[in-house]
């Protein structure tokens, strides 16, 4: 018998195959060549027939040059942090395509001179939020709070209720973030109760501002008391309110969730919010409020380090100006029980034990803690959870009461057929 290693095609020969050449255009030369060599080595080691090198190379190549993969969110958590929180609207995705090229992000086309960065996105925010005289955008909510603390209270005091000294994701704590800016914290009240007199007695010539933080990822109930923004407006110091989840205006489906317009109307000088939560846009931090305060933040040296790129600005503007984003659509969607029943019937017809059941969804992502949203799901045996997660596309389900639940709350009706195919493939 001859040495089969002589039959292994060379790298240039594999690169010449039309499908492989197309992959080079999609994924880049280095990645494709590295994959070809790995597959060819398997053939030389006798683990693969030489004629299969081309097919195995194509099978081993990723679908895109990015390591990110689209995932179907059937968890019932609308803003799943591990899945990137808010899915962008079609308008925002189209805006990203435009922004990916050369744009006028910092150019005044009328004069040919340098223009204000992202002016149209800022204008969209101001128009969308009554009471916002000015706005500024940084790269996330924590960055917005850090900029406010640095610009308004470095080497000074921030007055904050103990009940609002929260820990956010991945172990980061708001007090640690604030003191890292050089500000000092003046803690007032107790964990469960704070009064207006506590704020008054804490004020001094050293006070930078009073901070109100919405505890967006937990709820304290029982013997509690807090001071709303409206009662703080007469303290003669700036009031900064971090509302967390990013509603620009009241949302009827979440009546207890704070929004920027109402908080400014109540007397806040500055409102801080996230862009990738209930607003439904890209990850960013929003600062809206009195023009004098926002201008101080915008001109602070730290603002340069925290600025967002043109992609974020484009997606944010399209989210604010455009049609209702998927997050908002989900909050107002009807017919979930009917969809779950139809999907369960289709799966049962394929011999898969499936049952339509009532479910409770949540907002997630640090929004509307403790609020249960009526939903519907398809219940499967628990073994499906891992099989679906490892499928193509990956489907993230929820394990509950020894069942694998495919919750439809965060999914559009067009996703139901995708779910059906994924379950059938996993069966």
Residue 1, pLDDT above cutoff 60: no
Q: What is the pLDDT of residue 215?
A: 76
Last residue in a domain, options 323, 357, 392: 323
% of the chain beyond a pLDDT of 70: 97
CATH number at residue 261: 3.40.640.10
Q: Are residues 115 and 53 in the same domain?
A: no
Rounded mean pLDDT of 28-51? 93
Q: Are residues 334 and 211 in the same domain?
A: no
CA proximity to 319, closest of 119, 88, 131: 88
Rounded mean pLDDT of 124-147? 95
From the number of C-beta atoms within 10 Å of its C-beta (0-12, 13-18, 19+), residue 97 rates as exposed
Give a yes or no: residue 204 inside a domain.
yes
Residue 5, pLDDT above cutoff 90: no
Residue 106, pLDDT above cutoff 70: yes
Residue 224, pLDDT above cutoff 80: no
Q: In this predicted structure, which of 31-40, 160-169, 286-295, 404-413 has the lowest mean pLDDT?
A: 160-169
Rounded mean pLDDT of 305-334? 96
Q: Are residues 255 and 334 in the same domain?
A: no
Q: In this predicted structure, which of 113-117, 164-168, 218-222, 247-251 has the lowest mean pLDDT?
A: 218-222
| Model confidence band, residue 217 (pLDDT cutoffs 50, 70, 90) | low
Last residue in a domain, options 323, 346, 364: 323
Full residue range of the structural domain in which residue 220 is found = 89-323
Residue 2, pLDDT above cutoff 60: no
Helix (H, G, I), strand (E, B) or coil at 211: strand
Last residue in a domain, options 302, 323, 344: 323
| Model confidence band, residue 216 (pLDDT cutoffs 50, 70, 90) | low
pLDDT one-digit tens code per residue, 241-264: 999 888 999 999 999 899 999 999
| Model confidence band, residue 277 (pLDDT cutoffs 50, 70, 90) | very high
Give a yes or no: residue 66 inside a domain.
no
| Model confidence band, residue 3 (pLDDT cutoffs 50, 70, 90) | low
Q: What is the pLDDT of residue 166?
A: 80
Q: Are residues 219 and 122 in the same domain?
A: yes
Tell me the HSE value of 200 on the side-chain side, using a 13 A CA sphere.
5
Q: Are residues 208 and 310 in the same domain?
A: yes
Q: What is the pLDDT of residue 381?
A: 96
Residue 176, pLDDT above cutoff 80: yes
Q: Are residues 235 and 193 in the same domain?
A: yes
> Residue 369 has what DSSP assignment?
T
Q: Which two tokens stand for residue 405?
A: 């639940």
Q: Are residues 9 and 121 in the same domain?
A: no
CATH number at residue 385: 3.90.1150.180
Question: What residues have CB less than 8 Å from 145, skipping those under 6 apart?
Answer: 174, 177, 178, 242, 272, 285
Give a yes or no: residue 135 inside a domain.
yes
Q: Which two tokens stand for residue 1?
A: 């018998």
Residue 219, pLDDT above cutoff 90: no
Q: Are residues 146 and 53 in the same domain?
A: no
pLDDT one-digit tens code per residue, 362-379: 998 878 888 899 999 999
Rounded mean pLDDT of 42-50? 91
Instruction: Answer for the pair 316, 285: CB distance below 8 angstroms, yes or no.
Output: no
Rounded to a whole number, what is the distance in angstroms from the first to the last CA of the chain? 43
Give a yes or no: residue 349 inside a domain.
yes
Give a yes or no: residue 288 inside a domain.
yes
Q: In this predicted structure, which of 8-22, 220-234, 287-301, 394-408 has the lowest mean pLDDT?
A: 220-234
pLDDT one-digit tens code per residue, 48-63: 999 999 999 999 998 8
Rounded to whole angstroms, the Cα distance separating 143 from 136 reads: 12
Q: Are residues 96 and 76 in the same domain?
A: no
Q: Give me the long-range contacts of 172-180 (CB less than 8 A, separation at least 24).
A: 172/142, 174/145, 174/213, 177/142, 177/145, 177/146, 177/149, 178/145, 178/146, 178/149, 178/211, 180/146
Q: Strands, E, within 277-349: which ranges?
A: 285-289
Q: Are residues 132 and 246 in the same domain?
A: yes
| Structural domains in the chain (count) | 3
Rounded mean pLDDT of 135-145? 95
Give a yes or no: residue 67 inside a domain.
no
Q: Which two tokens stand for residue 92?
A: 């925002």
Query: Mean pLDDT, the chain, as a whole number?
Result: 93
Rounded mean pLDDT of 401-408? 95
Give a yes or no: residue 24 inside a domain.
yes
Q: Are residues 167 and 237 in the same domain?
A: yes
Rounded mean pLDDT of 53-76? 91
Residue 171, pLDDT above cutoff 80: no
Rounded mean pLDDT of 86-110? 95
Q: Are residues 46 and 175 in the same domain?
A: no
Rounded mean pLDDT of 204-228? 83
Phi/psi for 420 (5° steps) reads -60, -45
Residue 170, pLDDT above cutoff 80: no
| Model confidence band, residue 412 (pLDDT cutoffs 50, 70, 90) | very high
Give a yes or no: residue 65 inside a domain.
no
């Amino acid at each position: 018998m001859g040495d089969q290693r002589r039959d292994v095609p060379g790298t240039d020969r594999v690169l010449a195959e039309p499908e492989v050449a197309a992959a080079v255009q999609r994924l880049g030369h280095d990645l494709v060549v590295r994959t070809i060599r790995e597959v060819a080595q398997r053939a030389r080691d006798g683990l693969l027939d030489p004629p299969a090198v081309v097919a195995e190379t194509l099978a081993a190549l990723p679908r895109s040059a990015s390591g990110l993969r689209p995932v179907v969110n059937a968890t019932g958590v609308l803003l799943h942090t591990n899945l990137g929180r808010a899915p962008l609207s079609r308008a925002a995705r189209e805006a990203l395509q435009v922004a990916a090229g050369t744009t006028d992000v910092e150019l005044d086309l009328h004069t040919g001179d340098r223009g204000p960065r992202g002016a149209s996105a800022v204008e969209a925010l101001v128009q969308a939020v009554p009471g916002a005289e000015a706005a500024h955008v940084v790269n996330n909510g924590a960055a917005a709070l850090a900029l406010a603390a640095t610009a308004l209270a470095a080497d000074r005091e921030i007055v904050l209720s103990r009940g609002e000294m929260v820990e956010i994701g991945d172990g980061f704590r708001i007090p640690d973030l604030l003191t890292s800016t050089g500000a000092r914290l003046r803690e007032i009240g107790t964990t469960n109760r704070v009064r207006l007199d506590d704020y008054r007695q804490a004020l001094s010539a050293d006070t930078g501002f009073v901070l109100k933080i919405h505890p967006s990822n937990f709820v304290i109930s029982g013997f509690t008391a807090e001071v709303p923004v409206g009662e703080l407006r007469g303290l003669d110091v700036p009031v900064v309110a971090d509302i967390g989840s990013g509603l620009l205006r009241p949302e009827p489906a979440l009546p207890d969730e704070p929004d920027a317009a109402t908080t400014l109307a109540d007397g806040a000088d500055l409102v801080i919010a996230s862009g990738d939560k209930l607003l439904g846009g890209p990850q960013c931090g929003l600062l809206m409020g009195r023009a004098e305060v926002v201008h101080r933040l915008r001109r602070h040296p730290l603002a340069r380090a925290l600025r967002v790129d043109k992609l974020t600005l484009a997606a944010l503007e399209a989210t604010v100006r455009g049609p209702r984003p998927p997050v908002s659509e989900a909050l107002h969607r009807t017919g979930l029980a009917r969809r779950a029943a139809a999907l369960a019937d289709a799966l049962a017809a394929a011999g898969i034990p499936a049952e339509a059941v009532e479910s409770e969804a949540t907002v997630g992502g640090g929004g509307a803690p403790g609020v249960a949203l009526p939903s519907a799901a398809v219940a499967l045996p628990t073994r499906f959870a891992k099989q679906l997660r490892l499928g193509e596309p990956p489907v993230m389900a929820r394990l509950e009461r020894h069942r694998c639940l495919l919750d439809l709350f965060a999914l559009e009706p067009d996703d139901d057929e995708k779910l059906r195919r994924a379950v059938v493939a996993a069966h």
